[in-house]
Structure 1
């Protein structure tokens, strides 16, 4: 959102793993089978230097699909965790299966996350299960972003799928960036509606430049709807009157109001990406790091003793009392049983013994 490449220089930062709750983002990826969730995770890992080379689902070389059955079937069948670091922020990406047969792992990912990326294929659109999951996230006010993937597909229809997501998810689903497909191209550019710049991916990497005449027309067409949607969620009630009166609202003010609205789940940005070409990856990382909330901003679950008595509310404090949930346990033939644990408060150290003394909901 700031226009600064979020992934720039990230390779060196992978050795530094932030641990404070304010510097962590727990993000679950939701979408139907084949929408490109695993490939998107792989692209983000590569863009930030977490892995040296991007794997492929077809080759069985992705980080998330490591199980023999996943490699053989070329699809995700279980919840996978993929961490990466962008600057001073650690992002835990939770890749979930898209088939209804594995809904248990999907719900485990929802419990472990603070925010969600809804991945929708640009050539398939929104299915019924994804609509239902959007409503589940809405019921608990989980912040969400819509990622329209596979922009390089021969049958990609960004405009049509965008309209479909807005019909399915509501009028607060608004593009933050608009992809541009030039003649003879699958789409090399993203028009940033807030900053009124263009991210050009036609060469190697991302170059931010001023819009061409064609891109300026696209910007003018879409920017007004975004500005109005952001201002409607602003706590400053005078902004709408000022905007309708012709005032050009300050960019930093708009960004601040946008980030607040996304974090409190009252505004849902849309971004088009192409994992294979890198289009939109930096912009998506900016949304995650700058607008998605940290665990310290997420309400902790209600806690009860083993006798059913409510416990006083805890804080998201590494030095506080331990509050954690085992999200998933798997058995590895080489290392034995492995558990993915979401820590809400306190700290778990290697070889620590933990006594279960209560439960939460």
Structure 2
């Protein structure tokens, strides 16, 4: 998570890694109000991972996930979009959702398809009521979450204040479960009074990650910079230790024992995966011609290292066609096919195209499957009980 020495192998532009086992998959939905920067963040992550050669802009209608003419005209997302990228041998399915309330059905579809959520919060606008409601829904089902603060370049952006608000709103009775892993590193104040964010300071590693050249470079902080991060670092360590499965660790730490970074990272990843700790990160799109946007490497490391695999996602309630409950092993490629049609769209050239989340078994082309709506009182159809034949299978990219 920015504190580990890792090598990564991005996929070729426009093509994501093929995952051959559940452990090499992460399904992540991006949640946030309209204008918080979800689509721009997906574009930045795709660029850093090597899935695209250059980042498009929402204003130009050139982003991967906003591909519909209506989205180009309105300059906002109106439908669920899937962008797969590869990082460190892990395939990450990024589900970009609309933030506007009229398209809440697309958001709910993304939540059903995902195993974890990234809540995107603008440093200029803060947290709105609808984002808070979705957070509470995710909390009710125990979905792991992390927070990404965007729009750091805005004139009224305040990372520290936004982090405090997030801890107050999302932390509930335990604000120490919502803490930053990195602090923004700002350049000297310019003649216009603007101080752009050029990098990040890793609280656990005490490393500087400079993005000012368009590519992440690691260095050691100066002696004058260390005192500024110690208070935030101590609070983060105590927050991680409080979620540790080692009940003696807090007493040892308070007794003066130094806890090694590897132990802290392992405990952090476990706490994130089980949905009891919610790290805060910062991200910004890459400048023109740059290869990496600020914070995108750290975010991809969090997703691949801390978010759960599909094997850790509980199976939905499964019944036979006769309505009898059936127990199945989750994520068994050789087991019976259990999948959910997340959404279906109509394409003028292809016909009906369905986005499907597979929980168990293997979906194959030209396979006859039984589609049943029984038991889905909130979104099912009592009379939907029919055999269907799949057509060609493909992985959407936007």
TM range (shorter): over 0.9
The Cα of 1:8 is off from its aligned counterpart by: 4.7
| Cα pair distance change 1:252/1:4, threshold 3 Å | closer
Q: Based on CA coordinates, which of the two structures has the bigger radius of gyration?
A: 2
Find the counterpart in structure 1 of residue 314 from structure 2. 299
Contact 1:6 1:285 in 2 (8 A): no
Contact 2:98 2:107 in 1 (8 A): yes
The Cα of 1:15 is off from its aligned counterpart by: 5.8
Matched, 1:181 2:193: no
Within 5 Å, which residues of 2 pair with 1:29-40?
29-40=30-41
Find the counterpart in structure 2 of residue 155 from structure 1. 156
Q: Normalising to structure 2: TM-score of the pair?
A: 0.87
Find the counterpart in structure 1 of residue 137 from structure 2. 136
Find the counterpart in structure 2 of residue 240 from structure 1. 250
- Supply the distance in 2 between the matched residues of 1:16 and 1:148 (Cα, whole angstroms): 27
- Supply the distance in 2 between the matched residues of 1:25 and 1:289 (Cα, whole angstroms): 7
- Match of 1:248, SS state, is coil
Report runs of 4+ in structure 1 exceeding 6 Å deviation: none
- Match of 1:356, SS state, is strand
Contact 1:151 1:274 in 2 (8 A): yes
| Cα pair distance change 1:283/1:5, threshold 3 Å | farther
- Supply the distance in 2 between the matched residues of 1:50 and 1:273 (Cα, whole angstroms): 18
Q: Which residue of 345, 351, 355 maps to 1:330?
A: 345
| Cα pair distance change 1:253/1:319, threshold 3 Å | same
Deviation larger for 148-157 or 62-71: 148-157
- Match of 2:94, SS state, is strand
- Deviation by residue 1:119-158 (Cα, 9 ceiling, x = unmatched): 0001000000011110000000000000001111222111
- Match of 1:46, SS state, is helix
After superposition, the CA RMSD in angstroms is 1.7
Find the counterpart in structure 1 of residue 64 from structure 2. 63
Find the counterpart in structure 2 of residue 169 from structure 1. 170
**Any stretches of 5+ residues in structure 2 without a counterpart?**
288-292, 377-398
- Supply the distance in 2 between the matched residues of 1:280 and 1:109 (Cα, whole angstroms): 24
Contact 1:306 1:358 in 2 (8 A): no
- Supply the distance in 2 between the matched residues of 1:177 and 1:58 (Cα, whole angstroms): 29
The Cα of 1:289 is off from its aligned counterpart by: 0.2
The Cα of 1:87 is off from its aligned counterpart by: 2.4
The Cα of 1:212 is off from its aligned counterpart by: 2.0
Q: Which residue of 209, 221, 246 maps to 2:231?
A: 221
**Any stretches of 5+ residues in structure 1 without a counterpart?**
none
Find the counterpart in structure 2 of residue 10 from structure 1. 10
How many pairs are equivalent?
361
Find the counterpart in structure 1 of residue 393 from structure 2. none
- Deviation by residue 1:147-194 (Cα, 9 ceiling, x = unmatched): 001111222111111111111001111101111212134111211111
Find the counterpart in structure 1 of residue 76 from structure 2. 75
Q: Normalising to structure 1: TM-score of the pair?
A: 0.96
Matched, 1:103 2:104: yes
- Supply the distance in 2 between the matched residues of 1:27 and 1:34 (Cα, whole angstroms): 19
The Cα of 1:19 is off from its aligned counterpart by: 2.9
- Deviation by residue 1:89-113 (Cα, 9 ceiling, x = unmatched): 0000000000110000000000000
Contact 1:305 1:358 in 2 (8 A): no
- Supply the distance in 2 between the matched residues of 1:357 and 1:129 (Cα, whole angstroms): 31
